[in-house]
């Protein structure tokens, strides 16, 4: 057997180009029959064979339920116990869990299970190799067995199967010999104790020249939106498998718009309330700012990775400007990808601006609160100084009153005559008090 010249290069953290030469030799098992695969205990699909294994596909789409007995495809792949299927089942309408679009007949099939699609007799026509009439299969909340059969039927590499079944969370795009695999983040809005939060979910797509597979493990409307867009642009745009992937990413990016608009409105309210919020509402106001900043950070993190994914997609899968782009749009995906990149840049710019405004509002509010606290302390200090001064003066006057209040016969002329001595003494004390207060104010005792 000739020596293999396999090369695996990692261009970036997002994109991995896997170029495997002479893979026919190492995967000559592509011609194995069903009995041979059962004897071996697993199916190892070749990654350079574009043909679909319709026997396995018919087994999945057969009207009868798939039997779990016997060895299953990819059974030899070890799944770490730390990676598990989600314990909660996605609340997807039963009639829309599986969507199959056929570009050949321009028909759409929806069902809650594969055996309810009723397309097992037209598989060769639906899953054709015609790149101008692509097919598209979307599955929400797939089981491990469904993933094994699909990946085996479409000759998907075990690494791709492992990324999907373990729900790899990193946004990336990987090129294989006959397809490319991409995982893109979307999100759900969930209610938490301090408001709203964004829970990420990943959309997995396997794009062939003549068709697309997409998977998700949570409730999303992206597949339905893409399908409506295909129906709307039918006959206007050249819908190909790459265009389906672009439509997915575009719809995911558009779903960030309402959340960003809501954040912009909340930021405006916070800016207006910075100088009007009362001291008693300080804790609630700071918690509100912190909650909005958390959401801004979450959306920024969810959007940033898509820029690298689209750059890699544009570099490896977008053709140059087509001469018939004006006549038949859709051939030049560069225009569409650049449009999505502009949307992402605009959204990230809005998020960065919101973060800057929130940071400034929080700093201004804390500075204002600190200034008000300092003013309160100053007023308390002034009051204490005043009370201290009054106490000192009253102490001196008390000494004078004590001198005239002794119960002795001191032969004081004031007592011997009929003069109202008590009033004279009281007036003198008031005069002395006023003089001492003026002196205290002059020498800044308070």
What is the per-residue pLDDT for 429?
Answer: 74
Is residue 345, in this structure, part of any structural domain at all?
Answer: no
Percentage of the chain lying above the pLDDT 70 cut: 72
Which of 14-18, 20-24, 419-423 reaches the highest mean pLDDT?
A: 419-423
Write the CA distances from 418 to 25, 119, 413, 415, integer angstroms: 136, 128, 10, 7
Boundary (domain end) residue, out of 233, 253, 273: 253
Per DSSP, the three-state class of 251 is: helix
Is residue 285, in this structure, part of any structural domain at all?
Answer: no
pLDDT, tens digit, 9 for 90 and up, residues 100-133: 998 888 888 888 888 888 887 788 888 988 888 8
Token representation of residue 116: 């309810």
Plot region of 155 (φ>0 → left; ψ -120 to 50 → alpha; else → beta):
left
Is residue 317, in this structure, part of any structural domain at all?
Answer: no
Task: Name 317's Cβ contacts closer than 8 Å, sequence gap at least 6.
Answer: 180, 242, 333
Is residue 172, in this structure, part of any structural domain at all?
Answer: yes
Is residue 27, in this structure, part of any structural domain at all?
Answer: yes
Is residue 372, in this structure, part of any structural domain at all?
Answer: no
The rounded distance, in Å, linking the Cα atoms of 213 and 60 is 15
Confidence of residue 29 (pLDDT cuts 50, 70, 90): very low
The rounded distance, in Å, linking the Cα atoms of 234 and 236 is 5
Q: In this structure, what are the phi and psi dihedrals at residue 332, rounded to the nearest 5 degrees?
A: -95, 95
CATH number at residue 147: 3.30.460.20
Confidence of residue 417 (pLDDT cuts 50, 70, 90): low
For residue 185, is pLDDT > 80?
yes
For residue 244, is pLDDT > 60?
yes
The runs of H, that is alpha helices, within 13-102 are 23-26, 34-40, 54-61
For residue 173, is pLDDT > 70?
yes
pLDDT, tens digit, 9 for 90 and up, residues 207-242: 999 999 999 998 889 999 999 999 888 778 888 899
The runs of H, that is alpha helices, within 192-332 are 222-232, 241-254, 257-273, 282-317
Residue 350: which H helix or E strand, with range? Answer: helix 333-404
For residue 64, is pLDDT > 60?
no
Residue, of 80 and 313, whose pLDDT is higher:
313
Let me know whether 246 and 385 are in one domain.
Answer: no
The runs of H, that is alpha helices, within 12-105 are 23-26, 34-40, 54-61
What is the per-residue pLDDT for 158?
Answer: 93
Boundary (domain end) residue, out of 191, 220, 253: 253
- Cβ of 282: how many Cβ atoms within 10 Å? 14
Nearest-CA neighbor of 432 among 406, 400, 403?
400
Token representation of residue 158: 């075990």
pLDDT, tens digit, 9 for 90 and up, residues 321-376: 554 555 455 567 888 899 999 999 999 999 999 999 998 888 878 777 776 677 77
| Helices and strands: H and E segment counts in the chain | 13, 9
Percentage of the chain lying above the pLDDT 90 cut: 31
For residue 31, is pLDDT > 70?
no
Is residue 111, in this structure, part of any structural domain at all?
Answer: yes
Range of the domain at 392: 381-442
- What average pLDDT does the structure give for the chain? 76
Let me know whether 390 and 249 are in one domain.
Answer: no
Is residue 233, in this structure, part of any structural domain at all?
Answer: yes
Which value, in Å, is the radius of gyration of the alpha carbons in the chain?
39
The rounded distance, in Å, linking the Cα atoms of 292 and 269 is 11
Name which of 394-403, 412-421, 429-438 the model is least confident about.
412-421
The rounded distance, in Å, linking the Cα atoms of 336 and 318 is 10
* Mode of pairing for the β-strands spanning 98-102 and 135-140: antiparallel
* 283 close to 250: Cβ distance less than 8 angstroms: no
Overall domain count for the chain: 2
pLDDT, tens digit, 9 for 90 and up, residues 274-314: 877 776 677 788 888 888 999 999 999 999 999 999 998 98
* 176 close to 18: Cβ distance less than 8 angstroms: yes
Task: Name 213's Cβ contacts closer than 8 Å, sequence gap at least 6.
Answer: 136, 137, 138, 139, 150, 154, 156, 205, 206, 207
What is the per-residue pLDDT for 166?
Answer: 92
Boundary (domain end) residue, out of 234, 253, 272: 253
Per DSSP, the three-state class of 207 is: strand
For residue 42, is pLDDT > 90?
no
Write the CA distances from 200 to 47, 65, 90, 195, 374, integer angstroms: 30, 33, 14, 17, 44
pLDDT, tens digit, 9 for 90 and up, residues 156-168: 999 999 999 999 8
For residue 51, is pLDDT > 80?
no
């Amino acid at each position: 057997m000739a020596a293999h010249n396999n090369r695996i290069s990692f261009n970036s953290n997002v994109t991995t180009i896997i170029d495997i030469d002479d893979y026919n030799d190492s995967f000559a098992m592509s011609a194995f029959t069903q009995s041979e695969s059962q004897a071996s205990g697993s199916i190892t699909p070749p990654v350079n064979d574009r043909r679909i294994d319709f026997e396995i596909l018919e087994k999945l789409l057969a009207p009868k339920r798939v039997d779990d007995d016997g060895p299953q495809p990819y059974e030899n792949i070890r799944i770490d116990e730390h990676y598990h299927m989600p314990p909660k089942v996605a609340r997807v309408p039963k009639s829309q869990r599986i969507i199959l679009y056929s570009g050949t007949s321009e028909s759409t099939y929806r069902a809650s299970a594969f055996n309810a699609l009723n397309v097992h007799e037209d598989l060769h026509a639906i899953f054709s190799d015609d790149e101008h009439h692509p097919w598209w299969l979307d599955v929400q909340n797939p089981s491990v067995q469904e993933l094994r059969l699909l990946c085996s039927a479409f000759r998907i590499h075990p690494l791709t199967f492992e990324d999907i079944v373990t729900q790899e969370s990193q946004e990336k795009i990987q090129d294989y010999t006959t397809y490319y695999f991409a995982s893109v983040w979307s999100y759900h809005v969930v209610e938490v104790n301090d408001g709203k939060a964004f829970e990420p979910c990943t959309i997995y797509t396997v794009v062939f020249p003549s068709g697309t597979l997409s998977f998700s493990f949570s409730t999303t409307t992206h597949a339905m939106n893409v399908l409506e867009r295909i129906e709307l642009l039918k006959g206007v745009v050249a819908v190909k498998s790459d265009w389906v992937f672009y439509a997915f990413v575009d719809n995911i990016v558009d779903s960030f718009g309402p959340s960003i608009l809501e954040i912009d409105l909340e930021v405006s309210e916070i800016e207006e309330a910075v100088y009007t919020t009362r001291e008693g509402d300080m804790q609630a106001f700071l918690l509100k700012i912190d909650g909005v900043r958390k959401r801004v950070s979450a959306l920024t993190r969810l959007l940033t990775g898509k820029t690298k994914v689209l750059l890699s997609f544009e570099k490896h899968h977008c053709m140059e400007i087509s001469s018939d782009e004006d006549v038949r749009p859709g051939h030049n995906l560069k225009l569409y990808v650049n449009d999505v990149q502009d949307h992402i840049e605009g959204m990230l710019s809005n998020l960065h601006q919101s973060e800057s405004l929130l940071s400034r509002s929080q700093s201004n509010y804390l500075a204002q609160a600190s200034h008000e606290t300092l003013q309160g302390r100053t007023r308390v200090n002034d009051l204490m100084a005043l009370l201290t001064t009054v106490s000192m003066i009253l102490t001196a006057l008390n000494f004078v009153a004590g001198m005239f209040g002794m119960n002795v016969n001191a032969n004081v002329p004031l007592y011997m005559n009929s003069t109202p001595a008590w009033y004279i003494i009281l007036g003198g004390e008031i005069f002395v008090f006023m003089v001492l207060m003026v002196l205290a104010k002059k020498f800044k005792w308070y």
